[in-house]
């Protein structure tokens, strides 16, 4: 009687690959052509197994070439925000028997031409765009790629998976206000080349301050351009200036908050007794800072996975009208902001 090894030797693949195909295991990517050869050889050699209906469906199921463009340069801090979104994207594609052809970021004008070449060389069917990228490059993608899905992107013409940045920031700042803070600083950066005060997390911060009747001190609204070292240096300079020190700082990312916390502790300020901190992203290290950082949990993994699901649904022409999928965020109150509650209920 034929064995798995016999099939593997004839097809030229590993025994484990043969086993996965015959069990219809879709957790690992195996090409449709290889699956077809394995089933044909199994039948030819008389291997005793029933070909599952699910496997037949997989054999004829359309696969697609998927690319991804992200706003953040991929060599910058190995971004703990973007890397988790990409993990979700790759996980969902693998479950569908596909892979990500490339991940690309545009840092200089010549990169746009490189992107054009990548799209054509890989025969890209669908593109995932993670946050806002160069406008000309984005328009070229929309004109030359069959289907585009955005992650945390503002575009009514394409399907988008996102979370409500403004509402999340507003809730975090409101929690600081509820504790009695009246002088709350802001640290953040711009969306692409816009004024950083147009970024949605800043708008949420400003809305909370305005509704509470609180003044925003210009010297304590700091554009650090999403740079960790600038967050530390500019916060340090602000502490040294002849301007009243805030009692709390809301930072638009955990990385920025952690760097600013260092600037505060170097001035012998106690967190949260002298100054409170609140970040965004809930990166793994935020739980282990001293003290642990209060933060907004952003559903990064889920955003990546749902973006793939949407992209494949649109490529299969299940939908035609672009939808916007909003994933719930969650505020996590830790010791850096003195809150005793562990977390709030999820908000849409």
User: What does the pLDDT read at residue 43?
Assistant: 83
Average pLDDT over residues 41-60: 59
Residues 152 and 274 in one domain: no
Q: What is the CATH number of the domain that holds 186?
A: 3.40.50.2300
User: What does the pLDDT read at residue 19?
Assistant: 79
Q: What is the CATH number of the domain that holds 14?
A: 1.10.260.40
pLDDT above 70: residue 51: no
Which of residues 111 and 62 earns the better pLDDT score? 111
pLDDT above 70: residue 312: yes
User: What does the pLDDT read at residue 346?
Assistant: 42
Band of the pLDDT at 77, cuts 50, 70, 90?
very low
Percentage above 90 pLDDT, the chain: 68
Residues 159 and 195 in one domain: no
SS3 call for 332: strand
Predicted TM-score (pTM) of this structure: 0.77
- 4-11 vs 15-22: helix crossing angle, rounded to 10: 110
Most confident of 27-31, 44-48, 271-275: 271-275
Q: Confirm whether 273 is domain-assigned.
A: yes
CB-count burial class (<10 Å; 0-12, 13-18, 19+) for 10: middle
Residues 56 and 91 in one domain: no
CB-count burial class (<10 Å; 0-12, 13-18, 19+) for 156: exposed
What DSSP string runs through 3-62? -HHHHHHHHTS-HHHHHHHHTT--SS---HHHHHHHHHHHHHHT------HHHHHHHHS-
Q: Which residue has the tokens 């479950």?
A: 95
Q: Confirm whether 324 is domain-assigned.
A: no
pLDDT above 70: residue 310: yes
Q: Confirm whether 347 is domain-assigned.
A: no
Give the number of domains in the chain. 3
Q: What backbone phi and psi angles, to 5 degrees, belong to 22?
A: -70, -25
HSE value, Cβ hemisphere, 13 Å, CA-based, for 168: 31
| Cα separation, 321 vs 170, whole angstroms | 30
Residues 143 and 36 in one domain: no
Average pLDDT over residues 297-305: 95
Question: Any idea which of 68-82, 101-115, 187-201 has the lowest mean pLDDT?
Answer: 68-82
pLDDT above 80: residue 311: yes
pLDDT above 90: residue 78: no
pLDDT above 80: residue 140: yes
Which range marks the domain in which residue 286 is found?
165-297+330-337
CB-count burial class (<10 Å; 0-12, 13-18, 19+) for 272: buried
Residues 102 and 148 in one domain: yes
Contacts within 8 Å (CB) and 24+ apart, 76-81: 77/228, 77/255, 80/254, 80/255, 80/281, 80/283, 80/284, 80/285, 81/253, 81/281, 81/283, 81/298, 81/300
Q: Confirm whether 245 is domain-assigned.
A: yes
| Cα separation, 89 vs 306, whole angstroms | 8
| Cα separation, 322 vs 124, whole angstroms | 20
Closest CA to 186 of 214, 218, 212: 218
Question: Any idea which of 96-110, 221-235, 277-291 has the lowest mean pLDDT?
Answer: 96-110
Band of the pLDDT at 28, cuts 50, 70, 90?
low
Residues 159 and 175 in one domain: no
pLDDT above 50: residue 59: no
User: What does the pLDDT read at residue 61?
Assistant: 54
Band of the pLDDT at 47, cuts 50, 70, 90?
confident
User: What does the pLDDT read at residue 48?
Assistant: 62
| Cα separation, 29 vs 39, whole angstroms | 16
Average pLDDT over residues 18-34: 71
User: What does the pLDDT read at residue 272?
Assistant: 96
Q: Confirm whether 113 is domain-assigned.
A: yes
Q: What separation in angstroms does the CA of 314 have from each of 17, 96, 98, 132, 175?
A: 30, 14, 16, 21, 40
Q: What backbone phi and psi angles, to 5 degrees, belong to 69?
A: -120, 130
Q: Which residue has the tokens 């004839």?
A: 10
User: What does the pLDDT read at residue 247?
Assistant: 96
Which of residues 244 and 339 earns the better pLDDT score? 244
Q: Confirm whether 322 is domain-assigned.
A: no
Q: Confirm whether 232 is domain-assigned.
A: yes
Band of the pLDDT at 54, cuts 50, 70, 90?
very low
Q: Which two tokens stand for residue 159?
A: 């399907």
Residues 241 and 190 in one domain: yes
Residues 55 and 70 in one domain: no
Q: 295 with 334: CB under 8 angstroms?
A: yes
Residues 141 and 179 in one domain: no
Residues 283 and 175 in one domain: yes
Band of the pLDDT at 58, cuts 50, 70, 90?
very low
User: What does the pLDDT read at residue 200?
Assistant: 96
Distance linking the first and last C-alpha atoms of the chain: 58
Residues 159 and 308 in one domain: yes
Average pLDDT over residues 210-217: 97
HSE value, Cβ hemisphere, 13 Å, CA-based, for 75: 2
pLDDT above 60: residue 75: no
Question: What are the beta bridge partners of residue 297?
Answer: 281, 330
Cβ neighbours around 33 below 10 Å, total: 9
User: What does the pLDDT read at residue 39?
Assistant: 84
Cβ neighbours around 131 below 10 Å, total: 19
Look at strands 294-297 and 330-332 and give their pairing.
Answer: antiparallel
> What is the chain's mean pLDDT, rounded?
87
Q: Confirm whether 218 is domain-assigned.
A: yes
Which of residues 19 and 336 earns the better pLDDT score? 336
Average pLDDT over residues 53-75: 66
Residues 181 and 283 in one domain: yes
């Amino acid at each position: 009687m034929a064995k798995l090894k016999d099939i593997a030797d004839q097809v030229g693949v590993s025994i484990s690959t043969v086993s996965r195909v015959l069990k219809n295991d879709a957790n690992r990517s195996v090409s449709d052509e290889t699956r077809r050869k394995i089933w044909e050889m199994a039948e030819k050699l008389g291997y005793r197994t029933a070909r599952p209906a699910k496997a037949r469906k997989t054999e004829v199921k359309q696969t697609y070439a998927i690319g991804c463009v992200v706003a953040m340069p991929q060599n910058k801090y190995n971004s703990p925000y973007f890397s988790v979104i990409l993990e979700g994207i790759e996980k969902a594609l693998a479950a569908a028997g596909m892979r990500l052809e490339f991940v690309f970021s545009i840092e200089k004008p010549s990169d746009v031409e490189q992107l054009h070449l990548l799209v054509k060389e890989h025969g890209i069917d669908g593109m995932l765009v993670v946050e806002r990228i160069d406008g000309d490059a984005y328009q070229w993608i929309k004109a030359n790629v069959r289907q585009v899905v955005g992650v945390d992107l503002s575009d009514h013409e394409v399907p988008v998976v996102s979370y409500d940045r403004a509402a999340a920031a507003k809730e975090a700042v409101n929690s600081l206000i509820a504790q009695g803070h009246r002088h709350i600083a802001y640290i953040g950066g711009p969306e692409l080349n816009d004024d950083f005060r147009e970024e949605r997390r800043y708008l949420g911060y400003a809305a909370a301050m305005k509704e509470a009747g609180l003044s925003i001190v210009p010297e304590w609204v700091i554009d650090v351009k999403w740079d960790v070292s600038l967050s530390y240096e500019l916060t340090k300079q602000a502490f040294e200036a002849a301007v009243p020190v805030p009692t709390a700082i809301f930072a638009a990312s955990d990385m920025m908050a952690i760097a600013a916390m260092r600037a505060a502790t170097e001035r012998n300020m106690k967190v949260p007794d002298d100054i409170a901190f609140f970040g965004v992203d809930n990166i793994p290290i935020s739980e282990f800072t001293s003290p642990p950082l209060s933060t907004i949990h952003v559903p990064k993994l889920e955003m990546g996975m749902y973006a793939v699901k949407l992209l494949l649904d649109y490529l299969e022409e299940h939908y035609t009208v672009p939808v916007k999928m909003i994933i719930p965020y969650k505020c996590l109150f830790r010791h850096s902001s003195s809150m005793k509650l562990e977390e709030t209920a999820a908000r849409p």
